[in-house]
Amino acid sequence: MTYREAVAAGLAQEMARDPSVVLIGEDVGAAGGVFKATAGLLEKFGARRVKDTPISEQAIIGAAMGAAMTGLRPVAELMFADFVSVCHDLVANQVAKARYMTNGQVSLPLVVRFGNGGGLRFGAQHSQSVESWLMAVPGLKVVVPSTPADVVGLLAAAVRDDDPVMFLEEKALYPTSGEVPEGEHVDELGTARVRRPGKDCSVIALGTMADRALAAAEQLQAEGIDCEVIDLRSLVPLDMTTVAASVAKTGRVFTVEENPRLCGWGAEVASIICEECFYDLDAPVRRITTPHVPLPAADSLEDAAIPSAERVAAAIREGLG
């Protein structure tokens, strides 16, 4: 199935299993979502459990928070990830801290879904990758799936989790397709996946960049360079065990991220590697990122800003000398 179909499939699986799971957001019902990722859910589960909301991110998150505090397991959609900035006070100061500030008396089992990232010519206000924003807030779990199977399995795990989970769906991946296990599929948050084993270097990526890292690895294989590609899949929890095992094997590390370079998640991963795996390294960790600029809408400029498979391959080639 496609990545967008996997979103609906994952939600349908959990809504059929648990009547406390509800879906709210702008156009999630009759329209099937602005990206058509919730198509068919209104017809299947009815208007009491699939609710369209006003165009108010504060209202959506506020309603989801209240619902989670009083026994439901809401899934809230904010359309574009950029719009989390509109309700950041609720997300960072209320949702993320309620369980801590009530000493565990109140839990918030809610999921917030976003369309994340660029590549679709939506301009600077609708194309940002915001996972590093959210990673910096204590109390939030941050998940970024890159395959349809991961969408279904990680979405199920997120819905069942008792903490708030920020679930970032990559807009550029919605039309891509892949195999999804039959029957109930539940994955585990905080587990990275080795998408391609290799021995010459470790390429650590996330979301859309995981696919581009794989494409770069295929290009380099023809030149005799054997890349191991690790898809982190989530940033909080962060699976450094898988990363460390790869670093010990290859000795050379590249991170690939769509975030602007300054304070991106790759910097945190590189810092942990330098602290905990220093003697396994044969060279400094190299970061491949989007430059620290607002993302342009023009085709050629956006393509130049976001790391492509060719740019990833070139950086690895240079880094390996």
Q: What is the mean predicted confidence (pLDDT) over 61-90?
A: 97
- Assess whether the previous peptide bond of 291 is cis (omega < 30° from 0): no
CA 63 – CA 108 distance, rounded (Å): 12
pLDDT (0 to 100) of residue 265:
98
At 125-139, the pLDDT tens digits run 999 999 999 999 999
Q: What is the DSSP string of 258-286?
A: EEESTT-HHHHHHHHHHHHSGGG-SS--E
Contacts with 147 (C-beta within 8 Å, 6 or more apart), sequence order: 3, 178
Mean pLDDT value across residues 214-219: 98
pLDDT recorded at residue 98 = 96
- Decide which of 319 and 321 is more confident: 319
The confidence score (pLDDT) of residue 266 equals 97
Is there a contact between 112 and 167 (Cβ–Cβ < 8 Å)? yes
Say how far apart CA 70 and CA 88 lie, in whole Å: 22
pLDDT in tens, 1-25: 999 999 999 999 999 999 999 999 9
Whether 88 is catalytic is no
CATH tag, 193-319: 3.40.50.920
Could you tell me the residue ranges of all domains in the chain? 3-173, 193-319
Mean pLDDT of the chain: 97
According to DSSP, residue 177 is labeled B
Instruction: Kindly give, in sequence order, each residue whose CB lies less than 8 Å from that of residue 47, ignoring residues fewer than 6 positions away.
Output: 29
Please give the share of the chain, as a percent, with pLDDT higher than 90.
100
Q: Could you tell me if 155 and 7 are in contact, meaning their C-beta atoms sit under 8 angstroms apart?
A: yes
From the centroid of its chain, how far is CA 229? 17
Same CATH fold assignment for domains 3-173 and 193-319? yes
Q: Which candidate, 50, 285, 4, places its Cα nearest to that of 155?
A: 4
Confidence of residue 36 (pLDDT cuts 50, 70, 90): very high
* Structural class in CATH, domain 3-173: alpha beta
